[in-house]
């Protein structure tokens, strides 16, 4: 049997509704709705809140524990992607854009672009970082036509073409 929620909501209903009206982020809205449902005694269990808002019971439990420990100010601070450092700076991003759009360049793959960046700018990036950055930000597609077969004999192809023209 689920455990009943025993948290006292300190803010008034009008304050919570005012905050809800001002928020635009869906995560903030769900958190405020959680407090409102508890304040109005509409729910008793975490799984009920989760079903109504579309979040897991564990997520609701984490939110309520945060509210109980630190109050509404930290409860409303949602840390998206904390401790993530940007691997590609704006300067490097602009340089990549220039390299991709340079008409005199002979770049045919992201591996070559990676080598150029290492040579010119002394930057070592993982291939996947460069690839996803170029695809996401610039919608670039570097494709090179491949030879149909690496052991292909051009003389044999010519002989085949001559024979097929005669028939």
For 138-150, give the DSSP string: H------PPPS-T
Instruction: Read off the pTM.
Output: 0.49
Q: What is the mean pLDDT of each run of 10 residues along the chain (167 residues)?
A: 80 92 88 93 91 91 91 80 68 89 82 90 89 88 66 69 56
Tens of pLDDT, residue by residue over 140-164, are 887 666 666 656 777 766 766 665 5
pLDDT at 29 (0 to 100): 92
From residue 40, alpha-carbon distances to 11, 16, 17, 67 in Å are: 12, 11, 12, 17
pLDDT at 160 (0 to 100): 62
């Amino acid at each position: 049997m689920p455990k009943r929620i025993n948290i006292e909501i300190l803010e008034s209903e009008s304050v919570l509704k005012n905050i809800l009206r001002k928020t635009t982020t869906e995560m903030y809205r769900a958190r405020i709705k959680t407090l409102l449902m508890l304040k109005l005694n509409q729910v008793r269990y975490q799984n009920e809140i989760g079903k109504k808002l579309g979040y897991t019971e564990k997520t609701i439990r984490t939110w309520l524990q945060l509210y109980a420990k630190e109050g509404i100010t930290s409860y409303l601070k949602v840390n998206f992607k904390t401790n993530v450092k940007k691997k590609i700076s704006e300067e490097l991003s602009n340089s990549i854009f220039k390299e991709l759009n340079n008409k005199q360049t002979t770049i045919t793959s992201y591996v070559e672009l990676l080598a150029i960046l290492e040579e010119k700018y002394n930057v070592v990036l993982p291939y996947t970082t460069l690839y996803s950055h170029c695809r996401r930000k610039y919608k670039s597609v570097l494709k090179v036509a491949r030879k149909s077969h690496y052991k292909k004999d051009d003389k044999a192809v010519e002989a085949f073409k001559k024979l097929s023209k005669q028939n």
